Amino acid sequence: MIAIVNSQCEYWKREFGATVIVKKKNFQNVVKKAIDKGLKPVIQIDDDLDELNFLSELPKNSFIGWLYADESLNLSFNKKVSRLESISIILRPYHLKPQKIRNIKSSLTYIAGNLKQIRSGVEFIKAFLWFWRGLGMYSREWKIMQMMKKQNRLFYNFPLGYTDIFCYSYLNTCGSETIDRNQSLLSRILPSRIVQTKSLSFVGQVGQIVRMLAIRCAEIAPNSIVIRRDVYGAGNYETKDVRVNGLEYVRILLDSKFVLCPPGNISGNTFRIHETVIARRVPLVISNPLSDPNFESPVASLFPGEKITSWNKLITEIDSVTPEKYQELVNTNFWVLNNQIKNAREFIENFEKT
């Protein structure tokens, strides 16, 4: 497998066994050489007009397209991608699935469930406006599904995975001698040298009001630690600040039993969910947030079969989780993610042969 990407290089290398080639100025030559050899490379598609024009000129069904997280629900970008006859299948980290009206109803109750954390009329209006934004997300997903169907374009709901900075920080914190540079982070349990002292943690950007409501609940929870950051923490690994922030993020994650995983700025899904599962901790996730009504938590919940919209209710229950129940959640989530990635790898490997 060859993956030509400019992000999540470690994820492709470790979890999919891919030969990773970072996209540079010679990107077009690299792609042509791979296809000329009879290979069907995985290519991260960027919203760049010159790149899309180049890809449109490639032979029919000659490559597998991978959309990076923030781009995969961009309507105009998806329209361009859906028209590429050279693409054989699209790997989508933000899942498209049939829309359900009950998800919109659950999303609307997000405000009621977290009303205590709204501190002003302005914040209430902001929250309600995010519900309208969520309806836009819901509508966009439906339009993209129709677009894919109209163009007869196949897509595969792909596991979001983890960032490069998490991988580097995790290995440096846990002890990189336990796993080699190409081995899956899911291949064995890495020995954590840090004893859990916190019940709950969150390290990251506050972002929009939908996330703020969750973070405020974590801040008042007993035995918790919350570190707010001004910027996204998984940027360029080469910068000193990102390296320091990455190590702090992993250290606190490993020092916690539960990790707050509020929705991202684009979708309910986040890298944090997958990274928490890999670190054998339990992510706290709520389905159908205001910003993404169709999002369903990919991990096992403390309340199986029950729709929880209140972050406070979710957080207050963690102290009652027995060690046995906690380990069950850790194991269940770990194997769910493990199977998702295994199935995705097998799917791509089989699709490469067709």
Let me know whether 274 and 247 are in one domain.
yes
Q: Are 224 and 259 in contact (CB under 8 A)?
A: no
**Rounded to 5°, angle at Cα 113 from 108 and 114:** 105
Query: 233 in helix, strand or coil?
Result: coil
Range of the domain at 51: 2-96+146-159+341-352
Let me know whether 150 and 256 are in one domain.
no
Let me know whether 335 and 348 are in one domain.
no
pLDDT value at position 238?
64
Across the range 101-109, mean pLDDT stands at 89
Query: 87 in helix, strand or coil?
Result: strand
Let me know whether 152 and 211 are in one domain.
no
Let me know whether 174 and 51 are in one domain.
no
**Rounded to 5°, angle at Cα 239 from 260 and 209:** 30
- The total number of structural domains that make up the chain: 2
pLDDT value at position 99?
83
Residue 112 falls within a domain, yes or no?
A: no
Across the range 145-164, mean pLDDT stands at 91
**Rounded to 5°, angle at Cα 202 from 198 and 203:** 120
Q: What is the CATH number of the domain that holds 308?
A: 3.40.50
Task: Give alpha helix (H) positions in the chain.
Answer: 9-16, 27-36, 49-56, 75-82, 101-113, 121-150, 164-174, 209-220, 240-254, 271-278, 311-316, 323-352
Let me know whether 345 and 303 are in one domain.
no
pLDDT value at position 66?
95
Let me know whether 345 and 262 are in one domain.
no
Let me know whether 260 and 250 are in one domain.
yes
300/282 Cα distance (integer angstroms): 9
Bridge-partner residues for 225, per DSSP?
Answer: 201
Query: 25 in helix, strand or coil?
Result: coil
Of 66, 136, 146, the C-alpha closest to 347 is: 66
Residue 15 falls within a domain, yes or no?
A: yes
Which of 147-161, 182-196, 219-233, 322-336 shows the lowest per-residue confidence on average (mean pLDDT)?
182-196
For the chain, give the number of residues: 354
Let me know whether 297 and 347 are in one domain.
no
Residue 289 falls within a domain, yes or no?
A: yes
Those residues whose C-beta lies under 8 Å from the C-beta of residue 17, and which sit 6 or more positions away, are 1, 182, 345
281/284 Cα distance (integer angstroms): 10
Let me know whether 305 and 173 are in one domain.
yes
Residue 270 falls within a domain, yes or no?
A: yes
Across the range 182-195, mean pLDDT stands at 69
Those residues whose C-beta lies under 8 Å from the C-beta of residue 169, and which sit 6 or more positions away, are 243, 246, 247, 249, 250
Residue 131 falls within a domain, yes or no?
A: no
Residue 135 falls within a domain, yes or no?
A: no
Let me know whether 188 and 297 are in one domain.
yes
First to last CA, the chain: 14
Let me know whether 275 and 347 are in one domain.
no
310/302 Cα distance (integer angstroms): 13
Residue reference for tokens 């006859």 = 85
Across all residues in the chain, what is the average pLDDT? 88
Residue 102 falls within a domain, yes or no?
A: no
Comparison of pLDDT for 72 and 162, the residue scoring more: 162
Q: Are 271 and 162 in contact (CB under 8 A)?
A: yes
Over the stretch 283-322, which tens digit does the pLDDT of each residue have? 999 999 998 999 999 898 888 878 888 999 999 989 889 9
Q: Are 173 and 250 in contact (CB under 8 A)?
A: yes
Residue 123 falls within a domain, yes or no?
A: no
Is the predicted pLDDT of residue 266 greater than 80, yes or no? no
DSSP code of residue 279: T
- Helices 240-254, 164-174: axis angle to 10 degrees equals 60
Is the predicted pLDDT of residue 191 greater than 70, yes or no? no
